[in-house]
Homo-oligomer: A and B are copies of this chain.
Amino acid sequence: MSKVRIKDIAEIANVSIGTVDRVIHNRGEVSQETRERIQKLLKEHSYKPDILASSLALKRQINLAVVMPRLVNEHAFWKLPLSGINKALEELSHYKISIKTYYFDQFNTDDFVHRVKNFPYNNIHGILFAPVFQEESIAFLRRCEKEKVPVVLFNSLLDDPYVKSFVGQDAYHSGYVAAKLINYGIEPKRDVAIINLSARKEHYAHIISREKGFRSYFEEHSGRLNHLLTIDLHSVDDQKLHSRLNEICSNYDLAGIFVTNSRVYKVAGFLAARGSMNVRLVGYDLLPESIDYLKRDYIDFLISQKPEEQSFRGLVSLFNLVAFNREPDEKQLLPIDIITRENLRYYKQ
């Protein structure tokens, strides 16, 4: 039961350590026959490399890239993954590693395509990618596949066999959880609004999934379905937003609002300005602005996507893949943490 080392395998097989090593790393230069013999032995003795020793001995330089939306004007969400990237950089500082970040304009398909075209594929050993544009992203994956650069996704899921791993949240279930929280807090027969505050909703598969999850909760539970309304607001202008929301408030008996992304603080701002405290408000992510409204009770619950952890785990997975050939889980689904004013302190940063 004691751990089997390369040396042990080598002795059993009557070959040298070097040969076993070559088999393990597919470095070739081993005869068909002995390779198979050793592979069999490795399996039989269920050889697992010693993580510590491997790490210590690793000499290769490893270059990773992160491809994600640029931090434009207001959508502060994309700041958050950066701290995860830095944390990963620290955690992996024993190694010879470089992480370079490539930003693209999340509202401009052409920009993305252009950035990806001049990508230094042969200097990069792995890519952590936050996809936005469905088709173009798939095309990017095809290119990576051709260039044999492994890709790990975070934040948003692309259904493609070449993706080595996805780190993120199940969007559907997060919407489902949000629905529970709102339904739990309000009396029956009152109205609930789903607000999409996204410039271009169709770009975000997970926003759609969240709404679906939210709605399906109500389908399965108390018949509040005919009190559900979806509002798409593409404008980022606060003036317009407020007047639109005002209008809705007077037309409906709003008891709860679900904002399908991190811009929930905008709706909270409206509620605060209007002074209406008894509308349940649930949204996403721990942006500073949202935290502020959470503390002041204008937001009741936030669901964290854990963006720092997403990028962190994504990078670590990617590194382990390219450095040690350790295959990550296909999906790394992070828990759907429910954050309130009262437990916030344990989730911040």
Q: Which residues of A contact B (CB under 8 A)?
A: 3, 50-53, 55-56, 93-94, 173, 176-177, 179-181, 184-185, 187, 217, 300, 333-338, 340-343, 345-347
Contacts and interface: CB of A to CB of B under 8 A. Distances in A.
A89 to B, nearest CB: 13
A311 B123 CA distance: 43
A53 B53 CA distance: 8
Contacts of A340: 177, 180-181, 338
Given A185-B185, A335-B346, A338-B338, 9 more contacts: A50-B94, A51-B94, A173-B345, A180-B340, A180-B341, A335-B343, A337-B337, A338-B340, A338-B343
Nearest to A300: B184
A240 to B, nearest CB: 31
18 contacts: A3-B93, A50-B56, A53-B56, A173-B343, A173-B345, A177-B343, A184-B184, A184-B300, A185-B185, A217-B342, A335-B343, A335-B346, A335-B347, A336-B343, A337-B337, A337-B343, A338-B340, A338-B343
Nearest to A93: B3
A342 B214 CA distance: 11
A65 to B, nearest CB: 23
Nearest to A337: B337
Nearest to A339: B338
A3 B94 CA distance: 9
Nearest to A169: B346
Contacts of A56: 50, 52-53, 56
B184 A342 contact: no
A52 B94 CA distance: 9
Nearest to A56: B52
Contacts of A177: 340, 342-343
Contacts of A176: 342
The 6 residue pairs across chains A and B that have the minimum distance between CB atoms: A335-B346, A338-B338, A336-B343, A177-B342, A180-B342, A52-B56
